[in-house]
Structure 1
């Protein structure tokens, strides 16, 4: 299961297409003859920096649930938590995952995907409640109607399916507790994401310094 921001992806791909067309115009020449000057390369580095932002903010963020655990991929950092290490998953203003960290203490991470303001969440729940009353009655759990709550619901269902079970099919609490004792999550910087921003930014700074010196 992979959860992404559709709007973020659309915006990121739109920028990448825009940047590609500008690269072609700069170095091949669509609207005029290409000019290989310091200004041209500075503009190119700025476009690359924009591509780095599009990648880290629009394309990279995701919440990925699989058989072993959940991965929260934010713009610059990756969080990986086995199901046994997870203490709680909530979906309010954002999807939050609380888990046992590398040192054994509880760590809470907030997903970049599906963040929303309290006002927007309240409006969404109000609209869902009106629709439910109109169509099926008021006795429904409406929390899953908001994107963050629905994402958290999906993750919790996936987590429940991967809990240890006894022969009877009931949850095996003893086995779950034993797994939780050693299960640990990890938090790490994403080298490709950092490089996607740092390299073009450094190039822009160098180009600006050269233009000032020259």
Structure 2
């Protein structure tokens, strides 16, 4: 079973932008005025390329047999046996066999999120200020304790390390890490480039 992790804020913001672009594209086509409309479409195309590659495409996927890292222009497939460790600073850095480091685009850990995580340490696991309000269940308390002092990136870094260690305990042999160019990103980029050229050519 695959588990997909990404920046929820960036993902939602990206789709809001896509909806905005779709409405404006329809309006520009219906009210086409020549060069000015083409310039507007080209600007929307360039901005959409940036939004797609930085907000919609990036994801970290924990698959059964490998770690899949989708960055803006490349996708990396790292078998768990080839992963040695994961460390977290602002981003998650996955250390691979052969002294290679793979930087994950998402999720990241901002200073604000880390400060918020520190404030959770020692917080009382109870909802509300009044004793009549329901308290957390044992499962919710365990989850709160597991996340105490940790950001989402910290937690995911631990999951990656645990899966790598599990693969090592099973005696799995390190397989080659595969990388592929992100065809979808280049398609979006090509469309934006075509719009820019059209805007320059149309009188």
Report the equivalent of 2:154.
149
TM-score normalised by structure 1 residue count? 0.74
**How is 1:53-72 mapped onto 2 (pairs within 5 angstroms)?**
53-72=50-69
Cα distance between partner residues in 2 of 1:87 and 1:27: 52
* Contiguous gaps of at least 5 residues in structure 1: 29-33, 165-170
How far 1:207 moved relative to its partner?
Answer: 3.8
Report the equivalent of 2:12.
10
8 A contact 1:70–1:83 mirrored in 2? yes
Query: For residues 26 and 142 of structure 1, do their structure 2 counterparts lie closer, same or farther at Cα, with a shift above 3 Å needed?
Result: closer
8 A contact 1:91–1:150 mirrored in 2? no
Query: For residues 143 and 156 of structure 1, do their structure 2 counterparts lie closer, same or farther at Cα, with a shift above 3 Å needed?
Result: farther
Q: 2:105 matched to 1:108?
A: no
**How is 1:118-197 mapped onto 2 (pairs within 5 angstroms)?**
119-120=111-112, 122-131=114-123, 134-135=124-125, 145-161=150-166, 163=167, 171-172=169-170, 175-176=171-172, 179-180=173-174, 183-197=175-189
Cα distance between partner residues in 1 of 2:102 and 2:66: 14
How far 1:123 moved relative to its partner?
Answer: 0.8
Q: 2:187 matched to 1:210?
A: no
How far 1:142 moved relative to its partner?
Answer: 5.7
Q: Provide the alpha-carbon RMSD of the alignment.
A: 2.5
Deviations 1:73-94 (A, max 9, x none): 1111111100111111223321
8 A contact 2:5–2:60 mirrored in 1? yes
Which structure would you say has the larger RCO, counting Cα contacts within 8 Å and 6 or more residues apart?
2
Deviations 1:69-122 (A, max 9, x none): 10111111111100111111223321111113xxxx3221111112234x3354
Q: How many pairs does the alignment contain? A: 183
Report the equivalent of 1:19.
21
* Contiguous gaps of at least 5 residues in structure 2: 126-140
| Matched residue SS, 1:87 | strand
| Matched residue SS, 1:145 | coil
Cα distance between partner residues in 2 of 1:110 and 1:42: 36
| Matched residue SS, 2:47 | helix
8 A contact 1:45–1:200 mirrored in 2? yes
Deviations 1:106-141 (A, max 9, x none): 221111112234x3354133212242xx348xxx67
